[in-house]
Chain A
């Protein structure tokens, strides 16, 4: 069974600060997806990383996939209150389209 550990579980910061969320596993994933979920809504896809060592930027968000494709990180620069939400990482195995979700990180950015 593939497991994804996400840390921290909760993060509360002031507007303008930076933050990093980590997603770690002992298993190799074919790809890893990051989602953000707001209350009352479904998860919204932010990015998919596929290649070991890959770095993708989405405005103030930087996503990195580990060289061994076992871990990933999400870094937010100069966080805004609009970044508040539940961040979920999800890994896909080679077998197919089944995702393994991390436990989620609840981010609160205070104005």
Chain B
């Protein structure tokens, strides 16, 4: 079982709906990530939060809105999505190392939310 929990596991929504994806970890990790993964492709980074502050936004459209309410939770708010946004959305977390050690912290992934846009 993964230590990063994502809900819901599956989500079907229309293009006019508003929904949220949730991610929770209790490993004390202070870096959290959202990735998008299309079928048979590697994960693509969307957002990175470090100490509950957004540190990286990979030019993601504004119809995706991340939120980090506290050090254990990460949300992704969805509004007015397009059919091409259908994908597996993965959350990950890692320790926040210091200096050169920062890049050596492995990321731990949840099992994802499979999103289908009608």
Task: List the interface of chain A (C-beta within 8 A of B).
Answer: 30-31, 33, 35, 40-45, 48, 50, 86, 88, 90, 92-99, 101-104, 106
If A41-B111, A95-B103 touch, whether A101 touches B43 (CB-CB below 8 Å) is: yes
18 contacts between A and B (CB under 8 A): A31-B103, A35-B109, A42-B2, A42-B6, A42-B92, A42-B109, A42-B110, A48-B104, A86-B40, A92-B103, A93-B103, A96-B55, A97-B48, A97-B94, A98-B45, A99-B107, A103-B42, A106-B40
B70-118 residues with Cβ-Cβ distance < 8 A to A are: 90, 92, 94, 96-97, 100, 102-112, 114
CB-based contact A42/B4 at 8 Å: yes
CB-based contact A104/B41 at 8 Å: yes
| B31 sits at the interface (CB 8 A) | yes
A48, A93, A99, A103 — which one has the most chain B CB atoms within 10 A of its CB? Answer: A99
| B50 sits at the interface (CB 8 A) | yes
B6, B31, B43, B55 — which one has the most chain A CB atoms within 10 A of its CB? Answer: B43
- Interchain pairs with CB closer than 8 A, number: 73
Residue of B nearest to A49 (CB): B104
| B12 sits at the interface (CB 8 A) | no
If A93-B103, A97-B103, A104-B41 touch, whether A42 touches B90 (CB-CB below 8 Å) is: yes
| B15 sits at the interface (CB 8 A) | no
CB-based contact B103/A45 at 8 Å: no
Residue of A nearest to B4 (CB): A42
Residue of B nearest to A6 (CB): B42
**Which chain A residues border B11 with CB–CB below 8 Å?**
none
Residue of B nearest to A50 (CB): B104
If A101-B42, A104-B42 touch, whether A96 touches B103 (CB-CB below 8 Å) is: yes
